[in-house]
Amino acid sequence: MEAKKTPKADLENKKRIFLQIGMALALLGVLVAFEWKQYERTVVDLGVMEMDFVDEEDIPITRQEQPPPPPPPEPSMELIIVEDDVEIEEDFVIDVDATAFTQVQEFAPIIPMVEEEVAEDVIFTVVEDQPAFPGGEEARIRYLQENLRYPQMAREAGIQGTVFVTFVVERDGSVTDVRVLRGIGGGCDEEAVRVVRNMPRWTPGRQRGQPVRVQFNMPIRFVLN
């Protein structure tokens, strides 16, 4: 049976083209081989870094000696002679005999009383006479009971306790510098400060008979009924 081959599968007509392409590639490879140049590589030596260590020389600290100060000048011993023409009476008599009518009085030296001044800006904590609320302690308690208002916030939250307030009683009895030392919150601290600030004038404290500024601490208790 005769094999049938299509004209597209026949490679005989393309042999010459493939041969020419192969020869061209071989010739190109030969030309490249002849033209190839190789350069020698040179290694550059950067050298070795040498360091010279120089020993540091300790230079002693010198102090410039100052000469001692010159001695003070000696006081002059010059004598000045002044002519004295004043005549002095050497004969005088002192009567030291006491008679019956002689009165002898003893004179005692008078020592002025210097009162120690009390500084106006000093705040005392302990004095000879403590400041007092007008009317006494019962009047102070009655004032707190009549003027103290329980805050609504503390009432609803069930807050109760003691608020410690500190203030200064001035020399004229007025109350200043009201602060809370320890509070309980809920508006009770602010209410305690308000009541203390509105207090009437106190009887001021005294030190050595003079009115002075005194630091005073007061506990104010809030209790729910």
Per-residue pLDDT tens over the stretch 139-150:
999 999 999 999
Strands 123-124 and 210-222: parallel
86 exposure class (CB count in 10 Å sphere: 0-12, 13-18, 19+): exposed
CB atoms within 10 A of CB 130: 15
Tokens at 210, concatenated: 């003079």
pLDDT value, residue 62: 63
* CA 153 to each of CA 113, 150, 195: distance values in angstroms, whole numbers, following the listed order: 60, 9, 18
Q: Kindly report the pTM of this predicted structure.
A: 0.47
Structural domains of the chain ordered from first start: 123-222 (3.30.1150)
What are phi and psi for residue 177, nearest 5 degrees? 55, 55
Residues 6+ apart with CB under 8 A from 155: 224
pLDDT value, residue 199: 93
